[in-house]
């Protein structure tokens, strides 16, 4: 109750006149934006809402979702700031970030925030009301419940504020739409690694892959904004660019092609059996075999061994030293050298360092003097190369499972975001109550009474059966009753 009363006092102060920032309070602008600030001063939050519409984001430091969304929130602020800078009629929107909502208990109580990120819109002079007796009361804010990205945040704000078309913010597309006239320049841009999906509107597999590819685009768009990433994502409808599809050897749809910086002449085609956002991003980050072959193919004979030595993958003996410096080596010396190089590759393979094995064996296979020896052309040598390539292109099931578990953990984190409290813990009591209410509605819908349900479910325990002693209850005073506000 004390927290609620404190919130009301601060709200009245903000409504009446605003306040100066207190001693020791964190308040930061961002990137020169006129419409954004971050603060831990509760008075500033209410004062901002006195003068304008406010989009407020309550975050906590150790929350991964909060950290990622903070960048999106600030990017959204920059879009509206740019509109205000060029239009006479301003949007009148201020963005306020609270980086640690645990430090602002009055704000979290006033807005009923029990989890983070908590993003809400406070409309000027409408987020509170004054009773006939002069008492200030706070209305429940309009909370953002979409996906935590810039695009959905902007769409929500444009709609909630009822902005005219010229004052609406627009998020640039995460995936660039290419044409026959633009695809070549896009692929050959040496400033970026360019990824292009070749697709067609009528293609069923393309439609199934669309959402995953857009996730790839969203990931790298954010990387460019936040970390100066050098990957851009585009797509080309081959029905309108058949000559481009032929030029880039597209034989099936959808086809994803990577044009790495330094290797723009011939793109690297993704050949994975499954096209998911995670696997495509793994391919973009480490295309492996194809890039190694392209790099070694551009080198003079024997020079790839100098590259391997510089990486610490092999050491030189007299024979290899002579060959790399241009001296003549005999076929017998080359045959012995094959055994020595294979030993380096096998050592790496035994340690599961398949990328290194692949590089060593690829270099040898691209050196004609070694490839054409009896040992260099043996089944054992080619089997080792093929095995190394397979492991590079198909990570072990253990590694795959680990990555998929990480992705599942992220998905679960997002699924429970609405129930995450300001201390970072999930409010399982709220989860139970919401799921219990959903189950109660299902019982009513199908005309089942409790006895019938128990008979059907046998020993199954549902969330609404949990007692307060099971941890389903929330301590008194933790979440204020809005009637008290």
Tens digit of each residue's pLDDT (9 = 90 or more) over 133-143: 888 788 888 88
pLDDT-derived band of residue 447, with 50, 70 and 90 as boundaries?
A: low
Residue pair 248/198 in contact (Cβ under 8 Å)? The answer is: yes
Q: What is the pLDDT of residues 214-241, one digit of tens each?
A: 989 988 988 888 788 899 999 999 999 9
SS (HEC) of 209-238: HHHHHHHHHHHHHHHHHHHCCCEEEEEEEH
Which pTM value belongs to this model? 0.55
Q: How many H helices and E strands in the chain?
A: 19, 13
Placement of tokens 């094995």 in the chain: 357
Select 2-167's CATH number: 3.10.620.30, 3.30.1130.10, 3.40.50.450, 3.40.30.10: 3.40.30.10
Q: Which residue has the higher pLDDT, 273 or 23?
A: 273
**What does the pLDDT look like over 329-346, one tens digit per residue?**
999 999 999 999 999 999
The token duo for 104 is 């602002």
Which CATH homologous superfamily contains domain 176-287?
Glutaredoxin (3.40.30.10)
CATH 3.40.30.10 placement within the chain: 2-167, 176-287
In Å, how far are 65, 163, 236, 405 from 278, measured between CA atoms?
A: 18, 37, 21, 12
173, 176, 180: which is closest to 239 by C-alpha? Answer: 180
Dist. CA 113–CA 107, nearest whole Å:
8
8 Å CB contact between 271 and 231: no
What percentage of residues in the chain have a pLDDT greater than 70?
79
Distance CA 107, CA 41 (A): 10
- As a dihedral over the C-alpha atoms of residue 280, residue 282, residue 288, residue 294, rounded to 10 degrees, the angle is 50
Contact 254, 209 (CB under 8 A): yes
> Nearest-5° angle of CA 26, CA 32, CA 35?
75
In order of 301, 319, 322, 324, 363, the CA distances from 328 in angstroms are 12, 9, 7, 10, 19
Give 390 or 196, the one with higher predicted confidence: 196
Q: What are the tens digits of pLDDT across the range 348-379? A: 988 888 889 999 999 999 999 999 999 988 88
Q: What pLDDT digit, counting tens, does each position of 108-160 carry?
A: 888 888 888 999 998 887 877 788 888 878 888 888 988 888 888 999 999 98
């Amino acid at each position: 109750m004390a927290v609620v009363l404190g919130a009301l006092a601060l709200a009245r102060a903000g409504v009446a006149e605003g306040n100066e920032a207190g001693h020791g309070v964190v308040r930061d602008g961002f990137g020169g934006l006129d419409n954004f600030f971050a603060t831990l001063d509760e008075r500033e939050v209410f004062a901002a809402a006195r003068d304008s519409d406010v989009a407020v984001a309550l975050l906590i430091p150790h929350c991964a979702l909060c950290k990622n969304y903070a960048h999106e929130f600030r990017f959204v602020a920059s879009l509206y700031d740019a509109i205000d800078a060029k239009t006479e009629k301003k949007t009148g929107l201020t963005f306020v970030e609270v980086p640690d909502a645990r430090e602002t208990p009055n704000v979290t109580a006033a807005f009923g925030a029990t989890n983070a990120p908590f993003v809400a819109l406070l409309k000027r002079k409408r987020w509170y009301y004054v009773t006939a007796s002069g008492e200030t009361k706070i209305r429940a804010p309009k909370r953002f419940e979409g996906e935590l990205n810039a695009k959905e945040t902007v769409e929500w704000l444009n709609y909630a504020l009822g902005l005219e078309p010229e004052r609406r913010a627009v998020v640039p597309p995460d995936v660039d739409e290419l044409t026959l006239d633009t695809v070549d320049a896009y692929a050959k841009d040496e400033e970026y690694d360019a990824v292009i999906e070749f697709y067609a509107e009528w293609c069923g597999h393309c439609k199934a892959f669309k959402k995953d590819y857009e996730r790839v685009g969203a990931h790298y768009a954010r990387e460019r904004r936040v970390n100066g990433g050098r990957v851009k994502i585009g797509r080309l409808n081959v029905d309108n660019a058949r000559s481009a599809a032929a030029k880039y050897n597209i034989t099936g749809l959808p086809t994803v092609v990577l044009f790495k910086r330094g290797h723009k002449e011939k793109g690297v085609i993704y050949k994975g059996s499954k096209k998911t956002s995670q696997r495509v991003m793994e391919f973009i980050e480490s295309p492996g075999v194809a890039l190694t072959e392209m790099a070694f193919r551009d080198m003079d004979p024997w020079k790839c061994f100098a590259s391997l030595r510089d990486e610490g993958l092999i050491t030189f003996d007299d024979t290899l030293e002579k060959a790399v410096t241009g001296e003549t080596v005999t076929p017998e010396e080359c045959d012995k050298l094959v055994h020595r190089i294979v030993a380096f590759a096998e050592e790496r393979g035994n340690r599961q360092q398949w990328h290194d094995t692949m590089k060593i064996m690829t270099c040898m296979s691209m050196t004609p003097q070694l490839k054409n020896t009896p040992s260099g052309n043996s089944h054992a040598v080619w089997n080792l190369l093929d095995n190394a390539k397979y492991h590079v292109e198909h990570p072990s099931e253990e590694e795959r499972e680990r990555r998929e578990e990480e992705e599942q953990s992220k998905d679960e984190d997002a699924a429970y975001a609405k129930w995450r409290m300001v201390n970072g813990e999930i409010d399982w009591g709220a989860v139970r109550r919401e799921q219990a209410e959903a189950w109660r509605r299902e019982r009513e819908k199908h005309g089942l009474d409790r006895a019938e349900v128990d008979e059907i479910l046998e020993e199954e325990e549902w969330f609404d059966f949990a007692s307060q002693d099971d941890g389903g209850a929330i301590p008194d005073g933790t979440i204020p009753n809005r009637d008290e506000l």
